[in-house]
Chain A
Amino acid sequence: MNIKPFLTEAELPFCKGCGHSSVAQNTEKALQKMNLDPLDVILVTDIGCHGIIDKNFLSHTVHGLHGRAVALAGGVAAGVNNSDKKIITFIGDGGATIGMQHLIGAAHMGFNITVVIHNNMLYGMTGGQPSEFTPCGFKTPTLPEGSAKAGYDICEIIASAGASYVQRVAGVGDYSDSLVNAFSAKGFSLVEVMEICPSYGVKSNPGMKLSKVIEDSGLAVKVFVDGRDKEYVTPIDSSPKSLISDKFNVDVKYSHNLSKPVSIMMSGSAGEGVQSAAEFLAKAAMTAGLHATKKGSYPVTVGVGFSASEVIISPEPILYTGSPVPDVLIITSVDGLNYAKAAAARMKGGLLLVDESLDVPQTGAKVVKFPFRERVGARNSAFYSIFWYLNNNNPFPIEALKDIFMNNKISEKVKIETMLQF
């Protein structure tokens, strides 16, 4: 067997006695035990002291942002989509704090990655500030009185998030077998390595022993999950259908009577067919050789309140799609009335078609009242109103709208005759 090195011969970049060195060495040992090729391994490192290790690794390396390495590695795993490749993420307790959601998310997804948390219980690179992993009583240079709260039990969190393998180890001696177990797991695995930062941790807590800190913190050094084998496979649709299709084409069958654009605003209530009716109107206009645009306005809660739609039909191509002052305003409900009052007030001419049950808003338009709701019920009032409009104003033949209506499944529920009683 030809065992390949995973680390260059250069000295490791950490302070003397730093636990990060032992993670690097144990990682190499584990990968060698698995007889992997360095170019089948992708190491994704976070920002922090531990993250500067990438230059020592002979595997592929990806180095990103503080706290985001797990999300980045998830993307790498989804992109590579090959469980023969080992994707390993190095992150600190600091990175795991700011990027906690990514850890939970990656475990939940089951991405094929192993996360090794270098938990030295503080932010090393920035000078020894406490993280959310700092145990109760543990002191740091910026927290000389010691942390008042316990640190996260990340293993419990990640176990419950659905990881395949989770283990906490004390970062002394040889723990390469634990790493082998994690690297061999299918899907998401995590090893939390408890470490000491000699430069800040030891200085702030003189005489401290790692084993004592772990014991006092109540964090169990054990395997939390093994053999769940939940693995994410990236979906790849090899022949998705084009979004361009003749079925969206509207054939021209009729001619029209317009010499200039007409903007029609329909304003009613959600659930009363306003958007569909507006779309029917626009498409019908297209079958008469007109250009058309349609846009909707509604509150974010699409199921209640007003529902309004602006349609422009034009013999010439439409550039500007706005219509601050409609030529025709059709109001079919109280919600619609409240919403369209301002537009009605802006009208200096044109037609305001309003349901008979409603108050007539202030407007300069010619007002026509009609009992749309009473005749066909609230749900169909918007459809009915556009049939009425075409019948009385004839911008293009009403047959065009009948066609659109009959070709839609609404015609199975609503008889076209009800729409044509004027």
Chain B
Amino acid sequence: MQTTKSVKPKAFIDGSRLITEACVLAGADVFVGYPITPANSLYLYATKRFPTMLAAPDEITTLQWMTGFATAGRVPVTATSFPGYALMVESINMAFMQELPMVIILVQRLGPATGTATCGAQGDLSVVNGTLSGGFTLPTFCISNLDDCWSLSAKAVETAVKLRTPVVLLTSKEMVMTLLSYDWSNLPEIKPTKMTEFKGEGQYFPYKAGDNLIPDFLPVTQTKHQVRVTASTHDTKGILQNVLPEAIENTKRLQKKQDKHLSEFTFFDLDEQAGAEALILSYDITAQAAREAAVKIRETGKKVSVLIAKTLLPIPMEYIEIANRYKRVVVAEENLTGQLRQMLFGVAGRKGVTGVNAIAKMISPNEIVEEVLRNEY
């Protein structure tokens, strides 16, 4: 009989519980929800945990209400899946232009269209990458395990608030619905983040930013300064201006502020083995299979490194730098054509880079092992 190694009690929980708690601790205080499988567990936990929870009549309203809450200084969160996200797209563009913080948790399921609501997937990265018109990116994080449900959810809220932008937190059915034994006795502390408010005496320019490229915030409940919020191309006063240079500079700033702060919200796990010539690159729900595949390969005496991407957009250049150190890169992701692989290496690809892809089933560690060992390096 084996003796138990650790007698520490573990909790039996799903990722939704950690995501919800972490968001609230990080400063989110409103949840607006519209039901959709597999995001419903987040909706349910939100009813118990968020100071304010509203049931919206549709996903466009969801995003509009969230934006309205944000103009008053509150920090909203929602959870949806592709069909709902598709309806939100124009409104996400709006909130992005208005520079209002919020987190959209996108729980992926099998598409296209309604697809299979109860089947997991990892197919929406390209959709998210294409959300904003004009080549702008929406800061996007992706959860790879229960630790991330906690820490990365908090970072999503923090990034949204600090950068004053909608942020997408990608996850999938498997992560939010499966129950797992988890030692949560040492969860890192999460502190709330608040928007920097304008403290000056003179005129308030709602879209004037200093060196950090992030304008100071004031809520529409202000009684000293006029606050203007707009989603149309605007100057620093928040007044609509077709294509005046000042207004276009302001629009360009929306990307620059992300690029400037990207290093503060670049998160990934890199497990490099000295002498390895192959790299497994993965994210989201396939990350755990990738981690397990590495264990299996190493057990055979072969060497392999693993990169788990957690910040997906804007793409940190580190990923390319790391990948370029390896002759062989296997990108494992649960979608048909390799969305992250194409984003990193282009449609033309790169010599030595291949994918492990699947839909309607989880990619297993063995499939990744086989692909890594296929062209013995």
Residues of A within 8 A of B (CB): 37-40, 42, 47, 52, 54-55, 58-65, 68, 71-82, 85, 101-102, 105, 234-238, 240-244, 246, 248-252, 254-259, 279, 282-283, 286, 288-300, 315, 318-322, 324
The answer to whether A249 touches B10, judged by C-beta atoms less than 8 angstroms apart, is: yes
Bound CA span A248–B98, Å: 41
Chain B, residues 72-90, CB within 8 Å of chain A (1/0): the string is 1110000000000000001
The answer to whether A279 touches B288, judged by C-beta atoms less than 8 angstroms apart, is: no
27 contacts between A and B (CB under 8 A): A38-B226, A39-B224, A54-B239, A54-B240, A55-B239, A60-B220, A60-B227, A62-B68, A62-B230, A63-B230, A68-B60, A71-B65, A74-B61, A76-B220, A79-B74, A85-B221, A102-B60, A102-B64, A242-B21, A243-B17, A249-B9, A249-B11, A250-B12, A255-B3, A283-B12, A289-B6, A293-B180
Residues of B within 8 A of A289 (CB): 2, 4-7
Q: B208 in the interface, Cβ–Cβ < 8 Å?
A: no
The answer to whether A78 touches B68, judged by C-beta atoms less than 8 angstroms apart, is: yes
Taking the closest CB of chain A, its distance from the CB of B17, in whole angstroms, is 5
Within 8 A of A (CB), among B55-73: 57-58, 60-61, 64-73
Bound CA span A73–B68, Å: 6
Partner of B61, one of A105, A243, A246: A105
Bound CA span A78–B55, Å: 12
Bound CA span A254–B94, Å: 56
Bound CA span A59–B223, Å: 10
Partner of B71, one of A38, A76, A82: A76
Bound CA span A241–B67, Å: 26
Partner of B64, one of A75, A81, A234, A290: A75
Residues of B within 8 A of A279 (CB): 12, 179
Residues of B within 8 A of A255 (CB): 1-4
The answer to whether A258 touches B2, judged by C-beta atoms less than 8 angstroms apart, is: yes
Residues of B within 8 A of A80 (CB): 72, 220-221
Residues of B within 8 A of A85 (CB): 221
Taking the closest CB of chain B, its distance from the CB of A289, in whole angstroms, is 3
Q: B118 in the interface, Cβ–Cβ < 8 Å?
A: yes
The answer to whether B10 touches A63, judged by C-beta atoms less than 8 angstroms apart, is: no
Q: B48 in the interface, Cβ–Cβ < 8 Å?
A: yes
Q: B324 in the interface, Cβ–Cβ < 8 Å?
A: no
Partner of A75, one of B17, B69, B362: B69
Q: B292 in the interface, Cβ–Cβ < 8 Å?
A: yes
Bound CA span A107–B239, Å: 30
> Could you say which of A60, A82, A85, A237 has the most chain B C-beta atoms within 10 Å of its C-beta?
A60
Within 8 A of A (CB), among B178-216: 178-181, 184, 187
The answer to whether A74 touches B11, judged by C-beta atoms less than 8 angstroms apart, is: no
Given A293-B180, A294-B178, A300-B37, A282-B12 contact (CB < 8 Å): yes
Taking the closest CB of chain A, its distance from the CB of B67, in whole angstroms, is 6
Given A60-B226, A237-B51, A286-B10, A101-B57 contact (CB < 8 Å): yes
The answer to whether A74 touches B3, judged by C-beta atoms less than 8 angstroms apart, is: no
Residues of A within 8 A of B288 (CB): 319-321
The answer to whether B61 touches A251, judged by C-beta atoms less than 8 angstroms apart, is: no
Bound CA span A237–B24, Å: 12
Residues of A within 8 A of B224 (CB): 39
Partner of B12, one of A72, A248, A295: A248
Known pairs A105-B57, A235-B52 / 13 extra A-B pairs, C-beta < 8 Å: A60-B228, A62-B68, A64-B230, A75-B32, A77-B68, A78-B54, A80-B72, A102-B64, A240-B49, A244-B17, A255-B3, A256-B1, A257-B2
